[in-house]
């Protein structure tokens, strides 16, 4: 038999490419997962609690119970993702052993290591990691992340931090593309990112991996906003199952993500969706409870 | 000549980039009126359930079926192959149902089982094998009498096939630098335009 190479860079980054233009939804039960799949989600994130509840619950947030993750994997045919704590490579090993399709090394859970992220090259399963700016994105890619997302501020229903992070990444990419070659080393030093990746981004005019929006997206217009800002797709965490009519809102966000440049369609799908999740003003959150500052 | 790429979800930009390298004009298709004037259509990889549901909601299945019935070339990669199939083992999801094949979704397992390998594809001409990337890929379990098999894995599994104006691949030529499958589809489209 011809050799079959698994876990290659092309295979890991390729799955993220297949998710583009789509919506990945947080779910906490197999029933939620089926609602998400029926609404047109491209993948689900299997969790015990959505970020809004993690925020309310307090304490240490860890990887979900494997039994719950397996039940959600059995419930749907689309890819299933799960979160591990930043730096907790054994949680990641467990998730890989369960056969999840993607691991989110996530600031939404309580970090297990404040200095090191996981060496993601050691895994066959692809990883997605959060970022607030280009330097952070490139550090995660250098560690082996196959996909990047904005951190935003999860569990708030407030899109402002996701916009800040998306604009930071896209603006810094635009800045690199206009630099003279000798300026790239200085840029790499300043942003704390590997020179080879800085050079690659300057040449490509984009990240070498898929880049989704996450953290605070609650409405179809929020999703289309992130797409128009140049993101490749969106994660919706608490925004769907903390709203009054999750199935309708989920379908509306899927349609707005596809037709992100068509305001008439966004208007149509936004009609009568009921209450969005209750939002949180970022300045009202105590500094030590902000999630985006976890990881570096 | 303009070739459309169904842009409801998935890796549609990758297909456009390859076609543009071949000097072919492209258009993203999200609504039925965007099909007008196209010489052919590529249905990209992505999630077949997502693409199928959006195609139903926005009324794309019927016009694509009608055009394909008149000999209009359509190429489905991965999720696109699933959408073109007549039978996917009884799973309830929207399909175009144009090609006389039976397909098994996620046939190789989950993402950790996704792989790359070399394939012989004699129809592309020459001896050079094709680097094929399979991502949570489907395979073809049965082909009808009018279907030509273009490539098999060494265990016999069918992973590329053609039925007149319809082309399917279980893998992703748009993720490699090998342009031969896109060139092959462009030729199919040119021949259909002349006919």
How far does B44 lie from chain A, in Å, by closest CA? 9
Is A271 one of the catalytic residues?
no
- pLDDT, one tens digit per residue, over A97-119 is 999 999 999 999 999 999 999 99
Contact across the interface for A101 and B7, Cβ inside 8 Å:
no
Q: What is the pLDDT of residues B8-39, one digit of tens each?
A: 999 999 999 999 999 999 999 999 999 999 99
Q: Give the closest of B105, B114, B115 to A77, CB-based.
A: B105
Q: What is the ipTM of this complex?
A: 0.97
CB atoms within 10 A of CB A229: 16
Cβ(B24)–Cβ(B41) below 8 Å: no
DSSP for A260-295 reads: TT-HHHHHHHHTT--PPPPP--GGGS-GGG-STTS-
| Interface contact B27, partner A, CB < 8 A | no
Q: Which residues of A touch B170 (CB under 8 A)?
A: none
- d(CA A31, CA B164) in angstroms, rounded, equals 42
Q: Is A252 on the interface with B (CB under 8 A)?
A: no
CB–CB contact B47 A78 (8 Å): yes
Asked whether the predicted pLDDT for residue A120 surpasses 80, the reply is yes
CB–CB of B9 and A78 under 8 A?
Answer: no
Token representation of residue B141: 């379990």
Taking the C-alpha atoms of residue A263 and residue A194, their distance in angstroms, rounded to an integer, is 39
Average pLDDT over residues B151-158: 96
- Rounded to an integer, what distance in angstroms lies between the CA atom of residue B44 and that of residue B12? 6
Q: Which of residues 253-272 of A touch B (CB under 8 A)?
A: 254-255, 258-259, 262
- The catalytic position among A20, A71, A83, A151 is A83
Q: Which residue of A has its CA nearest to B172?
A: A14
pLDDT in tens, B63-122: 999 999 999 999 999 999 999 999 999 888 999 999 999 999 999 999 999 999 999 999
pLDDT of residue A254: 98
What was the pLDDT predicted at A2?
74
Taking CB atoms and an 8 Å cutoff, what residues of chain A touch B155? Answer: 1
What is the C-alpha separation between A193 and B15, in angstroms, rounded? 30
Distances in whole angstroms, Cα of residue A2 to Cα of each of A154, B86, B156? 45, 30, 12
Q: Write down the pLDDT at residue A1.
A: 56
Q: What's the rounded Cα separation, in Å, for the pair A233 and A81?
A: 15
A15 and B111: CB-CB below 8 Å?
Answer: yes
Read off the pLDDT of residues A56-67 as tens digits, 9 standing for 90 and up: 888 999 999 999
**Contacts for A63 with CB less than 8 Å, ≥ 6 apart:** A82, A83, A84, A85, A88, A91, A94, A95, A109
* Nearest chain B alpha carbon to A15: B135
pLDDT at position A193 over 80: yes
Minimal CA–CA distance to A130: which of A94, A168, A98?
A168
Nearest residue in A to B104, CA atom: A77
3-state secondary structure of B185: helix
Helices A246-258, A220-228: crossing angle, 10 deg rounding: 20
Q: Is B53 on the interface with A (CB under 8 A)?
A: yes
Each residue's pLDDT tens digit, A222-279: 999 999 999 999 999 999 999 999 999 999 999 999 999 999 999 999 999 999 999 9
What's residue B92's pLDDT? 87
- The pLDDT, as a whole number, for residue A163 is 98
Residue B187 token pair: 């030729």
Name the B residues in 65-124 with CB < 8 Å from any A CB: 78-79, 91, 105-106, 109-119
**Alpha carbon distance A72, A25 (integer Å):** 12
| Chain Cα centroid distance, residue B57 | 21
Q: State the DSSP H helix or E strand holding residue B119, giving kind and residue range, or none if neither.
A: strand B115-119
Using one digit for the tens of pLDDT, what is the confidence trace for B127-148? 899 999 999 999 999 999 999 9
Distance from CA of A260 to the nearest CA of B (A): 11
Alpha helices in chain A (DSSP H): 9-19, 30-39, 51-57, 66-75, 89-98, 134-142, 160-177, 181-191, 195-204, 220-228, 238-241, 246-258, 263-270
* Tens digit of each residue's pLDDT (9 = 90 or more) over A145-185: 999 999 999 999 999 999 999 999 999 999 999 999 999 99
The tokens describing A166, both together, are 């998306």
The CA angle A237-A243-A249, to the nearest 5 degrees, is 80
% of chain A at pLDDT higher than 70: 100
Please give the structure tokens belonging to residue A34: 């089926």
Among all residues of chain B, which has the CA nearest to that of A2?
A: B154
Query: Which pLDDT score is estimated for B154?
Result: 93
- Report how far residue B3's alpha carbon sits from residue A284's, in angstroms, rounded to the nearest whole number: 52
For B66, the 3-state DSSP assignment is helix
The stretch A118-133 carries a mean pLDDT of: 98
The pLDDT of residue B90 is 85
Which H or E run includes B28?
Answer: strand B25-29
Interface mutation target, options B13, B14, B47, chain A, most CBs of A under 10 Å: B47
CB B13 within 8 A of CB B20: no
Each residue of A53-89: b (16+ CB within 10 Å) or e?
Answer: bbbeeeeebebbeeebbbebbebbebbbbbbbbbbbb
pLDDT recorded at residue B126: 82
Q: Which of B14, B15, B174, B182 is catalytic?
A: B174
The rounded distance, in Å, linking the Cα atoms of B67 and B84 is 13
SS3 of chain B: helix, strand, coil, percent, to 5: 30, 30, 40
Alpha carbons within 13 angstroms on the beta-carbon side of residue A192 total 7
Structure tokens of A202? 């300057």
Does residue B173 sit in helix, strand or coil? Answer: helix
The pLDDT value recorded for residue A222 is 98
């Amino acid at each position: 038999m011809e050799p079959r190479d698994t876990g290659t860079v092309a295979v890991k980054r390729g799955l993220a490419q297949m998710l583009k233009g789509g919506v990945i939804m947080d779910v906490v039960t197999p029933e939620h997962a089926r609602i998400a799949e029926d609404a047109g989600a491209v993948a689900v994130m299997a969790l015990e609690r959505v970020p809004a509840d993690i925020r309310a619950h307090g304490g240490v947030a860890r990887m979900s119970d494997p039994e719950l993750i397996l039940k959600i994997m059995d419930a749907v045919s689309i890819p299933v993702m799960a979160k591990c704590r930043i730096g907790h490579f054994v949680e990641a090993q467990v998730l890989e052993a369960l056969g999840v399709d993607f691991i989110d090394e996530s600031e939404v859970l309580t970090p297990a290591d404040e200095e090191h992220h996981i060496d993601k090259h050691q895994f066959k399963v692809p990883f997605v990691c959060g970022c607030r700016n280009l330097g952070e994105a490139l550090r995660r890619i250098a560690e082996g992340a196959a996909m990047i997302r904005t951190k935003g501020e999860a569990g708030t229903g407030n899109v402002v931090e996701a916009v800040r992070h998306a604009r930071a990444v896209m603006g810094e990419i635009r800045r690199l593309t206009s630099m003279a070659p000798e300026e790239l080393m200085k840029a790499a030093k300043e942003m704390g990112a590997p020179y080879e990746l800085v050079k690659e981004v300057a040449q490509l005019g984009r990240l070498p991996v898929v880049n989704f929006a996450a953290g605070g997206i609650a409405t179809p217009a929020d999703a289309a906003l992130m797409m128009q800002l140049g993101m490749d797709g969106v994660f919706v965490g608490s925004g769907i199952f903390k709203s009054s009519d999750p199935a309708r809102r989920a379908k509306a966000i899927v349609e707005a993500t596809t037709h992100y440049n068509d305001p008439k369609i966004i208007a149509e799908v936004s009609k009568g969706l009921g209450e969005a999740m209750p939002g949180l003003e970022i300045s009202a959150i105590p500094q030590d409870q902000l999630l985006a500052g976890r990881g570096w | 000549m303009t070739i459309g790429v169904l842009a409801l979800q998935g890796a549609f930009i990758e297909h456009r980039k390859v076609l543009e390298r071949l000097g072919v004009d492209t258009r993203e298709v999200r609504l039925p009126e965007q099909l007008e004037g196209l010489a052919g259509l590529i249905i990209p990889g992505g999630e077949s359930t997502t693409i199928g549901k959006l195609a139903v909601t926005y009324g794309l299945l019927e016009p694509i079926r009608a055009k394909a019935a008149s000999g209009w070339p359509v190429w489905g990669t991965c999720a696109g192959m699933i959408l073109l199939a007549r039978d996917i083992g009884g799973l309830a999801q929207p399909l175009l149902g144009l090609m006389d094949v039976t397909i098994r979704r996620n046939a190789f397992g989950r993402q950790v089982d996704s792989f790359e390998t070399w394939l012989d594809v004699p129809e592309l001409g020459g001896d050079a094998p094709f680097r094929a990337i399979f991502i949570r890929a489907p395979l073809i379990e049965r082909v009808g009498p009018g279907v030509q098999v273009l490539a098999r894995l060494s265990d016999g599994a069918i992973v590329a096939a053609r039925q007149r104006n319809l082309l399917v691949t279980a893998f992703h030529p748009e993720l490699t630098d090998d342009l031969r499958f896109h060139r092959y589809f462009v030729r199919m489209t040119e021949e259909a335009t002349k006919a």
